[in-house]
């Protein structure tokens, strides 16, 4: 389904197709066969420690070259997400486990206090959630940049720990991001499967005021859930939220402290063997990244 869609887009918009090829070739050491190779063969894990230019949240954007004008400009080669800023937050940090004291200190999340950060979960074979989220974040960054967006990551695996959840939220605020997605995978009991998107609940307490972002975040979340489902074939988690792929929470600092549209994506359950088989599969992660990229893109292009 995704293949047909992309080919159709290529016919309609050659520049988009070219961007897709750039994205694919960046991720695919052997290159595609004749430019029509939808068999997705990403690089081995950790083969791109910097994931390109490796800019963290403090780094600059993609350059892009098309500036931030407002005209859609038909036929001028303007990329669909030019002028848009997206922050991707890879949940946790592979090194958090070595810095328990630093990540266990509490920070304010408005509705209470919570640990600065946590280690996250892992599959039975030891593939950590933090490794997964970094890998996916780098793929998503590449895909969004190919569409012209300025993309920042809250961290790129080079920090010893964290950042704390409040700093992760600030990264989106300081970038004045048009959309922020925090990437995670769940640690629920085996037998529970599927993905879900977590939306900010309306809170106005202490340093938290999500009232302005509840509406746009819900739109972002639904676009993301629809696209993620389409590209991965995964089903919405039956064990979380409304059973339709979305949940709403007031206990996450990363959402409570955000001033810009933001959602969390729990891509699957690492503790379930069948979900873990997906999450550890590079081809699946390529499709997952495309699902995230297209979901964000749907939101940002419809928003105008």
Give the active site residues.
Answer: 266
Pick the piece of the chain touching Zn ion (CB under 5 A) from 3-11, 140-148, 177-185, 195-203: 177-185
CA dihedral 133, 138, 144, 150 (to 10 degrees): 110
Shortest separation between residue 248's beta carbon and Zn ion, angstroms: 17
Shortest separation between residue 187's beta carbon and Zn ion, angstroms: 8
**Residue of closest CB approach to Zn ion:** 184
Residue closer to Zn ion, measured from CB, 148 or 200? 200
- Among 64, 91, 194, 253, indicate the residue that binds Zn ion (CB under 5 A): 91
Pick the piece of the chain touching Zn ion (CB under 5 A) from 78-86, 163-171, 180-188, 279-287: 180-188
CA dihedral 190, 1, 5, 135 (to 10 degrees): 30
Shortest separation between residue 130's beta carbon and Zn ion, angstroms: 8
Shortest separation between residue 121's beta carbon and Zn ion, angstroms: 7
Dump strand ranges (E) for 173-253. Answer: 179-186, 196-200, 204-205, 208-209, 246-249
DSSP letters along 22-46, please? HHHHHH-TT--STT---S--PPPTT
- Among 139, 141, 147, 184, indicate the residue that binds Zn ion (CB under 5 A): 184
Q: x-or-dash pattern for Zn ion, window 103-142, by CB under 5 A? A: -----------------x----------------------
Distance from chain centroid for Cα 160? 21
What is d(CA 127, CA 155) in angstroms, rounded to the nearest whole number?
19
Task: Provide the token pair at 8.
Answer: 């159709």
Pick the piece of the chain touching Zn ion (CB under 5 A) from 11-19, 178-186, 231-239, 271-279: 178-186
What is d(CA 4, CA 93) in angstroms, rounded to the nearest whole number?
36
State the residues that interact with Zn ion by CB under 5 A.
91, 120, 184
């Amino acid at each position: 389904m995704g293949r047909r869609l992309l080919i159709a887009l290529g016919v309609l918009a050659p520049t988009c197709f070219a961007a897709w090829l750039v994205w694919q070739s960046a991720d695919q050491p052997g290159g595609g066969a004749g430019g029509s190779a939808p068999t997705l063969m990403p690089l081995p894990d950790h083969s791109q420690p910097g994931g390109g230019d490796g800019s963290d949240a403090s780094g600059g954007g993609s350059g892009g070259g098309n500036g931030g004008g407002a005209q859609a400009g038909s036929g001028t080669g303007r990329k669909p997400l030019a002028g848009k800023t997206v922050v991707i937050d890879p949940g946790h940090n592979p090194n958090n486990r070595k810095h328990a004291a630093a990540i266990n200190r509490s920070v304010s999340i408005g509705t209470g206090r919570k640990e600065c950060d946590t280690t996250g979960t892992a599959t039975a074979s030891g593939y950590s959630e933090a490794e997964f989220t970094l890998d996916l974040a780098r793929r998503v960054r590449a895909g969004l940049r190919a569409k012209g967006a300025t993309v920042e990551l809250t961290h790129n695996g080079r920090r010893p720990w964290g950042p704390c959840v409040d700093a992760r939220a600030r990264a989106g605020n300081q970038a004045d991001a048009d959309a922020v997605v925090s990437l995670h995978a769940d640690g629920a009991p085996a037998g529970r499967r599927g993905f879900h998107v977590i939306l900010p609940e309306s809170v106005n307490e202490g340093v938290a005021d999500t009232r302005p972002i509840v509406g746009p975040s819900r739109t972002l979340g639904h676009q993301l859930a629809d696209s993620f489902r389409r590209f991965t074939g995964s089903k919405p988690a039956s064990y979380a939220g409304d059973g339709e792929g979305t949940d709403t929470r007031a206990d996450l600092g990363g959402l409570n402290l955000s001033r810009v549209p933001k959602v969390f994506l729990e891509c699957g359950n690492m503790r379930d063997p069948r979900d873990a088989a997906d999450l550890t599969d590079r081809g699946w992660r390529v499709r997952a990244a495309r699902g995230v990229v297209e979901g964000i893109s749907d939101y940002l292009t419809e928003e105008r």
